[in-house]
Chains A and B, each alone.
Chain A
Amino acid sequence: MSQAPSAANSIYSDVIRERWRRPRHRGDLPGATAVAEDVNPLCGDRVRLMLTVEPQGRIAAARFVGDSCAICTASADVIAELVSGRSRSDAVALDVADVLAVLQSEIRPTRMRCVTLPLTVLAKALNGGQGS
């Protein structure tokens, strides 16, 4: 078999491909105390983020589910990882640069919403999510 780089190699980083194939934080989170969901109006992608926030404000666990592309899934997975075990205020401060630093991929402007959708959902969960 030829070892020529596939199209995917050239457009997505290994981090994105790995997290798309085997997301570490995907799935339901029973007993979540803050839950939010949003949709990317451009493509219909949907991400739901679930957090268990302890009374003192530490995020004990975070998981996501969704119908989303590789970039959006990887972004949600990274975000769930970055906020787990951190304080609520750390999570609020998380921004797109933090996520991009982990994804290690050049993201075209048309796909930037795929990265930011899970961040929007995180902000929603931390603001209005139930019990937060």
Chain B
Amino acid sequence: MKLNEHTRGDFPILQRIVSGHPLVYLDSGASSQKPRAVIEAMSEYYERSHANVHRSIHTLGEEATELYELARDAVHRFIGAASREEVVFTRGTTDGLGLIAETIGRTLKKGDEILVTELEHHSNLIPWQLVARDRGAALKAVPILADGSLDLAALDRLLTARTRVVAFTHVSNVLGTITPVVEIVRRARSVNAITVVDGAQAVPHMRVDMSALGCDFYVFSGHKMLGPTGIGVMYGRRPVLDSLEPGRGGSEMIKEVWIDRAQWNDLPWRFEPGTPPIAEAVGLTAAIGYLEKLGMDRVAEHERALTRRTIEGLAAIPGVKVYGPPVAVERGAVVAFAVEGLHPHDVAALLDAEGIAVRAGHHCAMPLMRRLGVVGTSRATFSVFNSPEEVSLLLAAVAGLRSSL
């Protein structure tokens, strides 16, 4: 039985009719849809247990605190962190990367170097630009090769004794390239650089294991992995978190406060100032439970089959160009493509008229677009509820596009 036959009924939104057609949602890379289990867990939390966490000595406060901390346990298990103290909740990937950049940024000096890659989403670029500018550090990018993979020889040339940070994506949100995290971490460590991995497009689609990857930081968003908006995770390796002063301050992250100083709270709360996204944490627990029940290996296999079918199908349509690594190479659940003579915006609008939702534009990766020599692309992304039939609908619709404008 195909995975989508199990899952489709769990996603209420898939009942929607769009432009007179049943919704074909191929934009989970931007934000996935939510199974009923997530929606209900959050409603139930608000209807039964809501209060603030940690500071309330009453029944609801205790329930909310327990549910919030249970989410931490779920993430700890799901990503193979060494301890729950390494799991810090944020508002999302962008928030987590910003927090890391600000936190590490305080330790940077003039002449230090920050290394990113040409694949990066703006969220893993702009925070480093800001920090580099403030601290007088240099920002450099590892280029990609023609096949969309990172140029590791260039990485070796760019890594120097001055390199303090290597920040890179695990899976490209445009090309689907899976980067060799373990290998990059190994090389970065040889110059004692801190490694920061953007896992936004990886965690929803494949098994990730912090103990195997070995990176210092790893961040992702709840809303791309069947969970709610407004929550994300910043995993930080314990010795690194211990060595850093908090980047942001407020309540929750302190133990004792005087007018002119404070004593920081223990991990992980030291990095969680303010009231956290509690209902969102409850939703995230449900999303992780849902994915775990399906099994991440099955999820990856299902989405890989859809991706391969899409790449092969699109590449066979005259005038359609598919970006990213060749189909034989393992890649993420992302297929960016261009239709000759049509602008990506128009492709998305025309597909929407047939009920098919794809993303079009620069995908928050303008330097990568420039590298590819385009202003944007159209992009189909997949999740557990997508079916081979939906891929066929996409292919048929794209095949009919060229004559239509």
CB pair B354 A69 closer than 8 Å: no
Nearest CB of A to B346, in Å? 5
Task: Kindly list chain A residues whose C-beta atoms are within 8 Å of the C-beta of B360.
Answer: 43
Q: A46-B375, A114-B345 are in contact. Are A8 and B362 (CB under 8 A)?
A: no
Chain A residues positioned under 8 Å from B243 (CB to CB): none
B375–A67 touching, CB < 8 Å: yes
Contacts of A55 in B (CB 8 A): none
Question: What residue in chain A is nearest B365 (Cβ atoms)?
Answer: A44
Residues of B within 8 A of A6 (CB): 400, 403-404
Instruction: Give chain B interface residues in 203-242, CB to chain A under 8 Å.
Output: none
Range, interface on chain B: 20 to 34
Interface residues of chain A: helix, strand, loop or mixed (majority): helix
Given A6-B400, A8-B405, A46-B375, A69-B343 contact (CB < 8 Å): yes
Closest B residue to A67 using CB positions? B375
Contact A44 B354 (CB under 8 A): no
Per-position binary interface string of chain B over residues 355-367, scored 1 when its CB falls under 8 Å from any chain A CB and 0 otherwise: 0000011100010
Most buried by B among A7, A12, A42: A7
Flag if A17 contacts B343 (CB, 8 Å): no
The secondary structure that dominates the B interface is: mixed
Known A42-B361, A43-B360: A20·B405 in contact at CB below 8 Å: yes
Taking a contact as CB atoms under 8 Å apart, the answer to whether A8 and B350 are in contact is: yes
State whether the Cβ of A92 lies closer than 8 Å to any Cβ in chain B: no
Q: Does B13 contact A (CB under 8 A)?
A: no
Chain A stretch 1-60: residues in CB contact (< 8 A) with chain B: 6-8, 10-12, 17, 20-21, 42-46
A42, A68, A70: the one within 8 Å of B405 (CB): A70
Q: Which residues of chain B have C-beta atoms less than 8 A from A17's C-beta?
A: 405
Q: In the complex, which of the residues A10, A11, A43, A73 contacts B376, with contact meaning CB atoms closer than 8 Å?
A: A43
B343 with A10: CB separation less than 8 A? no
- B388-405 with Cβ < 8 A to chain A: 397, 400, 403-405
Interface centre among B343, B360, B376, B400 (most CB of A within 10 A): B343
Q: B343 to A8, Cβ gap below 8 A?
A: no
From known contacts A6-B400, A7-B350, A11-B353, infer whether A44 and B369 are also in contact, taking CB-CB under 8 Å: yes
- Nearest residue, chain A, Cβ from B342: A70
